[in-house]
Amino acid sequence: MKNQPFRVRLGFAVRGLAHALRSESSLKAQAVALVLVLLALIWLRPSPAWWALAALASAAVIAAELLNTAIEELADHLHPELHPRIRLVKDCAAAAVLVAVLGAAGVALAFGMAVLLQRQ
């Protein structure tokens, strides 16, 4: 599977994203949040820097969620029964999502404060 053409590798990525969107409720929630962020940006028309920060924060959350899904799928496949070490791996992957979400929330909070200060 190595050294496949770009379009083939892109297909793998799209298939993985589609699977995760179908099967993971938390990723669906993150996708809805992304749409709401985009709508807010379109409505408020902030500077390009805010668009960039929102894009980076949103991408980090979605990427962390996808990695969490991949780790959980692999761990469940390799070790389907409960095991304390597998639980720790899954907990750490979930923590990565939490950290990304908190970072995105920080960007949202800073954006909200900037909007409020600009209107004063």
Reported as a single tens digit per residue, the pLDDT across 59-76 is 999 999 999 999 999 999
Number of CB atoms found within 10 A of residue 58's CB: 20
**2 pLDDT band (50/70/90 cuts)?**
confident
| Domain limits, the chain | 6-119
Q: What's the per-residue H, E or C state across 26-76?
A: HHHHHHHHHHHHHHHHHHHCCCHHHHHHHHHHHHHHHHHHHHHHHHHHHHH
The CA distance from 36 to 58, in Å, is: 11
Q: Mean of the pLDDT values across residues 37-42?
A: 95
CATH number of 6-119: 2.40.40.20, 3.40.367.20, 1.10.287.3610, 3.30.1050.10?
1.10.287.3610
Asked if 27 and 20 touch (Cβ cutoff 8 Å), the reply is yes
Q: Mean of the pLDDT values across residues 31-48?
A: 95
Mind listing the pLDDT tens digit for each residue in 100-115? 999 999 999 999 999 9
In this prediction, residue 98 carries a pLDDT of 97
